[in-house]
Amino acid sequence: MKITTSLLSATLVFSSMSASAQTLLVSDMDDTIKVSYVLDKDSVVANVAMIHNVFIGMPHLYQAITKIPEVKTVKYLSNAPRKIIGDLHEKFLKLNQFPKGEFVARGWYDLRTGNAHKVNSLRKFIGKYKPKELILIGDNGEADSEIYAQIRTEFPKVLGPTYIRQAYSSIGFSGNFAKPLQEGQIPFASSVDIALDLFKRGYLSAETVTDHVLTIVPTILKEDEDESRGATAFPEWYDCRDFHLPELPVLIDAKANDLLLQYGAKVQERCAIEPSDD
């Protein structure tokens, strides 16, 4: 595992300069922030009513992102029908302390439109808020990578990173295969990976990413391998075998740096194995 040194004082200066334009955060729900297992019909039905099954660290990460002065609003974008799951998703967001934002789900008239609901919603967000930067977060279970790539193509002047959770793999497990990432999209296995990348890009300060590591990583390290319900970072069905851990920065805080090394070791070990659906 390679560790690259970072001049954090210089990064802090860069952090204050980056993301200087109005920034919009748009996040998918199922299998991005909520543990749903959408590619398994029995599991998604069992998980649909659950409101404690959050991916560990995602609320803390989103709270950190919304403290960036340029982030003006948050949108939670779901392909689920509002009449069926709208109240549950909104309870999930509130219970798990995600930052306030608009939850946008499909109406009955959207149920046969495939990806059009998310694409059209993103177009509306951009048209209304006219952001200079757009942070997109989704997963590789369904069509997020394709939808986000289409929006990047349509709005090339709207900058910002696209993060895709690698919850499924191209190797395939139990008949489920990942949708491929598109050019420029950044894979992640947990909230820590996004926090580190946002730090490297200057969106988050050294203090913020250190706090995320100190707060979230101990919980991830204590997690059992067979977690499948409730709050979890790596549910037992999670298939991150395509994920490759990037170089980890060196943090000034010794405890945080040690935790980050342990986190890297755990991710490499966990993502090297075939998942379980027991």
pLDDT tens for each residue of 219-269: 999 997 655 567 999 999 999 999 999 999 999 999 999 999 999 999 999
pLDDT for residue 204: 97
**pLDDT at residue 13, as a whole number:** 35
Instruction: Say what the pLDDT of residue 14 is.
Output: 36
Was domain 3-270 assigned CATH 3.40.50.1000? yes
Which residue reads 């689920």 in tokens?
80
The H or E element containing residue 269 is helix 254-270
Find out whether 203 and 61 touch, Cβ atoms under 8 Å.
no
Could you tell me the two tokens for 102? 């608009």
Run of H or E residues at 24: strand 23-28
- Give the domain ranges of the chain: 3-270
Residue-wise burial string across 148-175, b where 16 or more C-beta atoms lie within 10 A, e elsewhere: bbbbbeeeeebebbbbbbbbbbeeebee
The predicted pLDDT at position 21 comes to 47
Low-confidence ranges of the chain (pLDDT < 70): 1-21, 108-114, 225-229, 277-278
In Å, how far are 103, 181, 207 from 47, measured between CA atoms? 19, 26, 35
228 Cβ contact list (under 8 Å, min separation 6): 35, 235, 236, 237
pTM for the full predicted model: 0.91
CB 22 within 8 A of CB 70: yes
Phi and psi of 234, rounded to 5°?
-130, 80
Residue 92 β-bridge partners: none
Q: What is the CA radius of gyration of the chain?
A: 18
